[in-house]
Structures are given as structure tokens and as C-alpha cells.
Amino acid sequence: MSSADDVKLKQAREDFVAQWGALGTHWGINRTMAQIHALLMTEPEAIGTDEVMERLQISRGNAHTNLKELVSWGLIRTIVKKGERREFFEAEKDVWKIFTIVARERRRREIDPALGVLHQCLDDSRGIDTPEGRAFHEQMSKLAEFVGFASNVADRVSGMKYGIALQLAARLLS
């Protein structure tokens, strides 16, 4: 028999999946990918493609693409069960690991290309001998320096053990 608690949990989970999916949009992550991640984060057991399709009411292609994308991020991993031919997926549930994965991925997708552009413009404007040219070069230089610096800091922080990061943060908040 399905108790009242089971119903409440089912609703809470569905709510979390739907809302987290909507949020994904603001994170540069598509809705489905965020929903699958939410689903797996709150699922005790590893589940297969067909169950994902059914729970989220999405097509096989969509489920497949986004599961693979999540695997490539490292936010979920594939599980092979003995005697089972198909693949199952389970989420990384440790919050610090999730954070470091997302931080790294965002650096790769958002910061590194920006640094590339800045360095190129820095080169292209080197030695332009007019007041405007020097001002432009100076602005590029400041931006590149700051972004590079911030990127290193973020890297360092997300490479820390959770305990160390926690200590550091606690000092900041005190």
C-alpha cells in the first residue's frame, strides 16, 4: 500500500525536478539536462534511459543527449549491473564535488574563451601610437589581468579539499 508519506515524497520530488529544471535555464544549462540531474540527485537507485524518459515525459533522443552530456560533465556516471544489458545512471551527490565540477566547467566555457579574446586584442593593439590606441590597450590589459587572476583564484579554490575551503570561508564570514 502507498502511504500518505509516499505521496508527499513523490510530489516533493516532482516539484524539485520541475523547478530545478526551470532554474537551469538561468544557468546556461538546458531545462532537460537540469531536470535529469535533479531527478538523479534525489533518486537513491541508479536508473535507466527508459525510466528517465517516462518520469520526465521526454523522447529517447532528448534523454540520451542530455544523459551523455551530464556524463561528460562528470555530474552523473554510468553503472553496469550484472545480468543487465542496458546502462544505468547515478548522480554524484556530494555537494562539494558538484560545486567543483560546475566551477571547472563554467571556467572552461565562460572564462577561458574570454581570456583568449582579451589576449588577442591585447596583441592587436600593441604599439598603436595614438592616445586612443594607448587607452584601448590599457583597458584590454586591465581586463585580461583581472580575468586571468580571478580564473586562477577560482581554480585554486575549487581544487581545495572541502575541509580547507570551509575553514577559509569561515574566516571570511567571521
Q: Is 15 exposed, middle or buried (0-12, 13-18, 19+ CB in 10 A)?
A: exposed
Angle between helix axes 49-56 and 31-41 (nearest 10 degrees) is 110
Stretch of residues binding DNA (CB under 7 A), selected from 63-71, 91-99, 102-110, 146-154:
63-71
Instruction: State which of residues 86, 130, 131, 174 lies at the interface with DNA (CB under 7 A).
Output: 86
CB hemisphere CA count around 42 (13 angstroms) = 17
For residue 115, the one-letter residue type is L
Query: Where do contacts with a second copy occur on this chain (CB under 8 A)?
Result: 3, 5-6, 8-9, 11-13, 15-16, 19-20, 23, 26-28, 41-42, 44, 93, 95-96, 99, 109-110, 113-114, 117, 120-121, 124-125, 128-130, 132-133, 135-136, 139-140, 142-143, 146, 149-150, 152-153, 156-157, 168-169, 172-173
Least distance in angstroms from the C-beta of 129 to a second copy? 6
CB hemisphere CA count around 163 (13 angstroms) = 0
Interface with DNA, residue 57, by CB under 7 A: yes
- Please report, for residues 8, 35, 171, the alpha-carbon distance to residue 5 in angstroms, rounded to integers and kept in the order given: 5, 23, 41
Stretch of residues binding DNA (CB under 7 A), selected from 23-31, 38-46, 103-111, 141-149:
23-31
Cell numbers describing residue 18: 520541475
**Residue 96 site contact among DNA, a second copy, none (CB < 5 to 8 Å, cut-off depends on kind):** a second copy
Interface with DNA, residue 126, by CB under 7 A: no
β-strand partners of 91: 76
